Amino acid sequence: MSDRVVLAYSGGLDTSVAIGWIAEETGAEVVAVAVDVGQGGEDLDTIRKRALECGAVEAVVADARDEFAEQYCLPTLQANALYMDRYPLVSAISRPVIVKHLVEAAKYHGATTVSHGCTGKGNDQVRFEVGIGALAPDLKVIAPVRDFAWTREKAIAWAEDRNLPIDVSKKSPYSIDQNVWGRAVETGFLEDIWNSPIEDVYEYTSNPAEPRDADEVVITFDKGVPVAIDGQTVTMLQAIQELNRRAGAQGIGRIDIVEDRLVGIKSREVYEAPGAMALITAHQELENVTVERDLARFKKSVAQRWAELVYDGLWFSPLKYALDAFIAETQEYVSGDVRMTMHGGRATVTGRKSDVSLYDFNLATYDEGDTFDQGLAKGFVQLWGLPSKIAAKRAQQH
């Protein structure tokens, strides 16, 4: 049997052309692998057939939507992970699940090499190749677009010369990556960071400035997992999908950011993540009610480092695994309900309740029934401020 190459296949121009190019350049048979992470668009059976028509000897389509939601989106939610305090890692968390399926396909089909369609400017080349190296160190990687300086014009000429079944007549002005957790848009006129995004950029969200009625939602969590919306039981995937619909209709989750790419380039990105941002908002507020103060403070620093590791392609790294264990421990008591009003591009928390809340009404109230012993406060304040007071006296004397 000929050597085999497993290709991460999207069904688009670059990866469709890559099938024939890899076969011609290496003499290897190509196995195309498409992974459904809720990106929508074309039917995956259509994509599978196109891969075969472009010369793949095998075409694998993996429905990974629930897997992606439960094993990748959920940890991101529980970490409240926002890269640069704003970006909920839409593309970054989809790459590890794709890598996992590529490696499994390579083992099953006896392939020695994995290929992807990433460029040399982006983060995804790192996420793919570092992930593959972590899961299967013996696999080789080739990246035709990056390593052989493909351009769109070259790819179109290749496809036309070989009569490949690809429609190359329509060219989107944007580069788009999407999955159930959100949607990423870049390039085109957005590369001028003074230009405002136009409504044509968006698909998951409606214009938040348009008048509409507010939408009130109650999200129920059990140990950090969203398990019901307005009393209706949901899976993690269903929770994201439902809030994509409802929060998206309110224009929630639009993010316009100049972010720091791993390769050292600053890049302007426009994201839509209505379900992700609504869930993170609710989860953060429930943690405010149920997580002890010092643990909550430390968790914020862990979440920031977790987000950086995931963004930088280190999902399968030892430090990421260790932080996973810490974050999982913090979720032991994150159970209860959060009520939010979604309107005008914002998800505003209006109520929260939990059977394991650390909020004690009788300690917090200023009204009758107050059980807080205010007599203890005087000595506490004096001791708390003692180091600063001593330092101030020294400064005055010297």
The 10s digit of each residue's pLDDT in 206-216 is 999 999 999 99
Report domain 176-291+333-353's class.
alpha beta
Split at pLDDT 50, 70, 90, the class of 167 is low
pLDDT-above-70 percentage for the chain: 97
Instruction: Determine the average pLDDT of the residues in 234-246.
Output: 98
CATH number for the domain formed by residue range(s) 4-171: 3.40.50.620
Q: What is the pLDDT of residues 30-74, one digit of tens each?
A: 999 999 999 987 788 888 999 999 899 999 999 999 999 999 999
pLDDT tens for each residue of 100-152: 999 999 999 999 999 998 888 889 999 999 999 999 999 999 998 888 767 77
- Beta strand 140-142 with 29-36 is unpaired
Compute CA distances 44 → 34, 35, 99, 124, 138, whole Å.
8, 9, 18, 22, 30
Task: Give the pLDDT score at 85.
Answer: 96
- Catalytic machinery residues: 14, 95, 124, 175
Please check the confidence at residue 26 and state whether its pLDDT lies above 80.
yes
Domain boundaries of the chain, sorted by first residue:
4-171, 176-291+333-353, 361-397
**pLDDT(169) > 70:** no
Q: Which fold has domain 361-397?
A: 1.20.5
**pLDDT higher for 43 or 266?**
266
Kindly report the pTM of this predicted structure: 0.93
- Report CA-CA distances (Å) from 57 to 18, 19, 115, 336: 13, 10, 15, 51
Is residue 204 part of an annotated ligand binding site? Answer: no
Nearest Cα neighbor of 377 from 363, 358, 357 is 363
Q: What is the mean pLDDT of residues 166-173?
A: 63
Q: Which residue has the tokens 């570092």?
A: 130
Work out the average pLDDT over 277-289. 98
Q: Is 330 annotated as a binding residue?
A: no
Q: Is 337 annotated as a binding residue?
A: no
